[in-house]
A and B are shown apart, each in its own frame.
Chain A
């Protein structure tokens, strides 16, 4: 479910946090779901448990999960997940538009694609 990119400029804990936020948003982890334990996720990914702990703490701060002492972390609801994903989508969209502008794509053309994407659900 979670893959890490060591080449990315985002630190590992941030990648884990964003990915879990995404999974919650997509409904893969509905509210009430228990997240994998720090130990098992650390073992699975082969990274330091402290890194996972940090990601889980940030998820809790963002209101996406809540921790029950002795039991683990549970999905509370979308909380700030939407904001996190919106922020990331905006960055990607701006970057894509910048590249489109540099590639000489006209504004009208870009606007047309935006229209198609929003209306047709992705099919041109």
Chain B
């Protein structure tokens, strides 16, 4: 369990994180999304104990990771900007990590070497971006950390490797309740991966929720009416009403079937319930709390 309370981090007079509070339960895959510069990487570095907080605290199982060797042994942080020792081969890299992490599993490491399509005797500087990331992920999984912090981890991976990494993650979570925190600026990338998602904006959490409840909690209905309908008096819990000509698009909180029934009662020419993408859900929820998502994205 990672507990973050009123966390503040400043760089000079720039406030990267501003009183951020968040709980990340063990065994979940927590996705942190946000525009560039919203504090995603800073947050991960604070959890990993790379940075020291200016205010508030980050507790990993009740203890801060800053200058805490025992905690750092359980946390693996994979930076977006990978660093490898000069002239290092994949084998040497894995050996290096073997010396760093007490949980390093030779058995798993050998399995990973067989699974990933990399020549482990080659130097990392001869590899492409995606291949280097694969090598780093091999090291991360081999160390069997309790907490895996991934910064833009899927950047540069091909779809086959991406699926492989997803499967490896699922197995490690099942085997030993690993917790994964992953950041991305791309909601679509996290959609099929995370069970919780938090949206960061200007150094604080705007919104966080379980993906399942997000999907069940909202529905979109499109309908065509030849007569005007007063939606505010319809009894629907509306988040959004968009009208284009006779076409009405409604974002409704609650059960989709019931909402569609209510809309049917208004005698539309046509009405249908549509699946929502995570992006649409976010935009809807954001607008509901008074944020204009379009402005945030710019």
Contacts and interface: CB of A to CB of B under 8 A. Distances in A.
A49 B170 contact: yes
A102 interface: yes
Q: How large is the interface on B (under 10, 10 to 19, 20 to 34, 35 or more residues)?
A: 20 to 34
Q: Which of A13, A50, A51, A91 has the most CB of B within 10 A?
A: A50
B175 A11 contact: no
Given A50-B28, A91-B257, A102-B270, A8 B275 contact: yes
B171 A39 contact: yes
B216 interface: yes
Contact of A50 (B27, B191, B192): B27
B256 interface: yes
Contacts of A42: 170-171, 173-174
A67 B276 CA distance: 34
Contacts of B195: 48, 50-51
Given A9-B215, A9-B256, A11-B211, A49 B163 contact: no
Interface in A107-122: none
A49 B173 contact: yes
B239 to A, nearest CB: 15
B227 to A, nearest CB: 17
A121 B72 CA distance: 64
Interface of B: 27-29, 163, 166-171, 173-175, 191-192, 194-195, 211-212, 215-216, 219, 256-257, 269-270, 273-277
Given A44-B167, A48-B195, A50-B28, 17 more contacts: A6-B191, A9-B215, A9-B273, A11-B211, A13-B212, A39-B174, A42-B170, A46-B163, A46-B167, A48-B29, A48-B194, A49-B27, A49-B170, A49-B173, A51-B212, A54-B212, A102-B270
Interface of A: 4, 6-14, 38-39, 42-51, 54, 91, 102
